[in-house]
Structure formats: C-alpha cells, structure tokens
C-alpha cells in the first residue's frame, strides 16, 4: 500500500506538477490549494506525509502544520517555501516539521527532504526529549544545506541564501564548529 501524501500549495501549476511527479514515484497524492481544503483531506484520507507551502492566502503553512499535527501526531511534514529564512526554518522545526526546503524544488528534492529529516530527527521522540536547535545551530545547518545543494559553490550558495558572498564567507569562518 503506497504512502499517502498531502500536498498543499496555492500555486496551481506547481501543485499539479508536483502532485504528478510524486505520484509517479509511488505515492498516493492528495492536493489542496489552501489550509481549509488540506484539513478536510487530512481528515478523510489520513496522510502519512505532508508538503506544506509556507505562505498561502488565509492560514499560513505553520498554522496548518500545528493543526495537522494535532489531528495526526505521526504525520511527517516538510515546509516548502519561496521565502527562505532561518527564523521560519527554526519555527517550522519547533512545530514538528521534519525539514524545510525552498522553491523551486522538484519531487526528488522533496523526497530527499523527508529522508534527511528522518535521519536527523527522532520523529516519535517525546516533546521534552526533542532538542530545539539554537539560532546559531539553525543558521549553521541552513548554510551547510545551501552549500550542499550548490555542491560547495560559495557564490551560488550565497545567492540561494540571499546574502553577499563575502558575508557567507565570514559566517563560514565565524560559525564553524
């Protein structure tokens, strides 16, 4: 039986393209354009996985994440956004997301985000055992992820992060463990 995935994005073209691609990879995909549709689909289909857009009309992806985790505590969520920021990533992880990726992303990147998130986070750990990263740790992890996504190219990673190359170089020297 294939895993059920709830895909929520207000961008119709992205939602349809991503749904088709994820279905081709063996998932049973249920797509919604907003938080209200997503909640109804979650209640009727009980998904195992969810990909939530951060910024949507009405409720945000973080608000929806909180609601869905209340309905389905074992749901694994990845936040997908065109507005990548360390603060949003930290908030998403604290609310129970297993990972956070920026647009544009393809189906393989989404699936990899779930795999990476499962490997890095004990998904079923009690809330008091979960280590919430400090802002510095979250920033370091976010930078390292951007560098990995750009195959170590500092200039491309800086562009992806929306910061000047020199700033990224300074952060790499200053924040290195």
Burial per residue of 128-150, b for 16 or more beta-carbon CB atoms within 10 angstroms, e otherwise: eeeeeeeeeebbbbbbebbbebb
CB-CB neighbours of 30 under 10 Å: 20
Is pTM beyond 0.75? Reply is no
Q: Is 104's pLDDT higher than 70?
A: yes
Mean pLDDT computed over every residue of the chain: 81
**pLDDT: is 6 or 131 the higher one?**
6
**Confidence label for 121 from pLDDT (cuts 50, 70 and 90):** very low
Q: Kindly indicate the confidence band of residue 123, based on its pLDDT and cuts at 50, 70 and 90.
A: very low
Structure tokens at 165: 């190359």
Residue 29 CA to residue 26 CA, distance in Å, equals 9
Comparing 16-30, 130-144, 147-161, which segment has the lowest mean pLDDT? Answer: 130-144
Give the Å distances, CA to CA, from 140 to 135, 147, 154: 9, 11, 14
Q: Is 118 in contact with 98 (CB distance < 8 Å)?
A: yes
- The CA distances from residue 131 to 76, 86, 100, 141, 166, in Å, are 17, 17, 17, 14, 31
pLDDT in tens, 70-93: 888 888 888 887 776 677 777 777
Q: Identify the pLDDT of residue 86.
A: 72
Alpha carbons 80 and 113: distance in angstroms, whole number? 10
Q: By mean pLDDT, which of 90-99, 129-138, 147-156 is the weakest?
A: 129-138
Measured from the Cβ of residue 68, the count of other Cβ atoms closer than 10 Å reads 25
Domains and CATH numbers, the chain: 4-129 (3.40.50.2300), 135-175 (1.10.10)
* C-alpha–C-alpha distance, residues 138 and 125, integer Å: 20
Q: Does the pLDDT value for residue 119 go beyond 60?
A: no
């Amino acid at each position: 039986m294939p895993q059920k995935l709830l895909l929520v994005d207000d961008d119709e073209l992205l939602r349809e393209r991503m749904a088709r691609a994820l279905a081709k990879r063996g998932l049973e995909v249920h797509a919604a354009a907003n938080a209200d549709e997503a909640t109804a689909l979650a209640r009727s289909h009980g998904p195992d996985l969810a990909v939530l857009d951060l910024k949507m009309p009405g409720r945000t992806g973080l608000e929806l994440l909180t609601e869905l985790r209340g309905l389905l505590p074992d749901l694994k969520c990845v936040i997908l956004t065109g507005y990548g920021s360390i603060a949003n990533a930290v908030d998403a992880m604290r609310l129970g997301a297993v990972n956070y990726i920026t647009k544009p992303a393809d189906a393989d990147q989404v699936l990899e985000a779930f795999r990476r998130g499962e490997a890095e986070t004990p998904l079923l750990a009690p809330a008091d055992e979960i280590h919430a990263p400090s802002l510095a740790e979250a920033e370091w992890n976010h930078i390292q992820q951007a560098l990995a996504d750009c195959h170590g190219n500092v200039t491309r990673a800086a562009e992806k992060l929306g910061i000047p190359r020199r700033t990224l170089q300074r952060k790499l020297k200053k924040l290195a463990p």
